[in-house]
Amino acid sequence: MRTFILKANTAITSPDFSLKDLPGTGGRIDLLCRFLNSAFLLSHGIRKDVRVFITLYGKPNPPKTIHFEGPKLKVRLNPDERSTSLILKKALEVGKDLREPTKEVEVFPGVYVSNMTFEDVVRRSMKDSTLYYLVEDGRPITEIEFPQNPAFVLGDHLGLGKEDERFLEGIAEKVRVGRRSYLASHVVAFVNIWLDGM
């Protein structure tokens, strides 16, 4: 199982965003939709060997975590951002009254919402995965022999903050797909394709 953990620094944590303005009213929800599509979609199917956690830290009440579990996923992911944003909207609607910090609530089969923090998700993933931090100054991905269950941590268009990077020190090896800063959706697609060939 491959795990991807994306910290979305500005993504709205309520369902009150317009489907006609995902970047503006959604705090870059469009980025999350593209990321999910790149993580799961194949030409004629869906990846069942992928798990995604997206931690949302935008207004009004962060954090929220939306978790997609590939083997259990029954909701239909399409290549368009609008239909994927509807899934996120529903998850945020279900999660708006959650009080317990780490309890997950199932929204659809294979889609869950919680109040888990970025740190909670990383700690949870460490239990059964080896952690890697995707960042420009890491070791080239081509030089690494990945274990059975790798977990990859990355940031959105703003990246991870210094506090997040300090938290990851010593628990996640830095790796890179290239020396430049790429779109998160492109990075997850590259990692999937690279691991497919191993």
Model confidence band, residue 74 (pLDDT cutoffs 50, 70, 90): confident
According to the annotation, is 88 in a ligand binding site?
no
pLDDT at 127: 93
pLDDT at 35: 96
pLDDT at 71: 94
Residue 18 predicted with pLDDT over 90: no
Report the DSSP pairing between strands 2-8 and 150-155: parallel
- Give the C-alpha separation, 121 to 54, whole Å: 9
- Give the C-alpha separation, 92 to 86, whole Å: 10
Model confidence band, residue 45 (pLDDT cutoffs 50, 70, 90): confident
pLDDT at 97: 87
Sign of CA dihedral 13, 74, 183, 154: positive
Residue 40 predicted with pLDDT over 90: yes
Bridge partners of 14?
A: none
Integer angstrom CA distances of residue 45 from 40, 70, 155: 9, 11, 26
pLDDT at 75: 81
Residue 198 predicted with pLDDT over 80: no
User: For the residues 68-87, what does the mean pLDDT come to?
Assistant: 90
Q: pLDDT over 70 for what percent of the chain? A: 99
Q: Which domains does the chain have, with CATH numbers?
A: 2-196 (3.40.1280.10)
pLDDT at 117: 96
pLDDT at 130: 96
Question: Which residue in 39, 43, 40, 51 sits closest to 1, CA to CA?
Answer: 51
Query: Using an 8 Å Cβ cutoff, are 177 and 154 in contact?
Result: no
- Average pLDDT over all residues of the chain: 93
Alpha helices in the chain (DSSP H): 22-25, 29-40, 81-95, 118-126, 162-168, 184-196
According to the annotation, is 77 in a ligand binding site?
no
Model confidence band, residue 79 (pLDDT cutoffs 50, 70, 90): confident
Residue 120 predicted with pLDDT over 90: yes
- Give the C-alpha separation, 57 to 122, whole Å: 15
pLDDT at 26: 86
Model confidence band, residue 125 (pLDDT cutoffs 50, 70, 90): very high
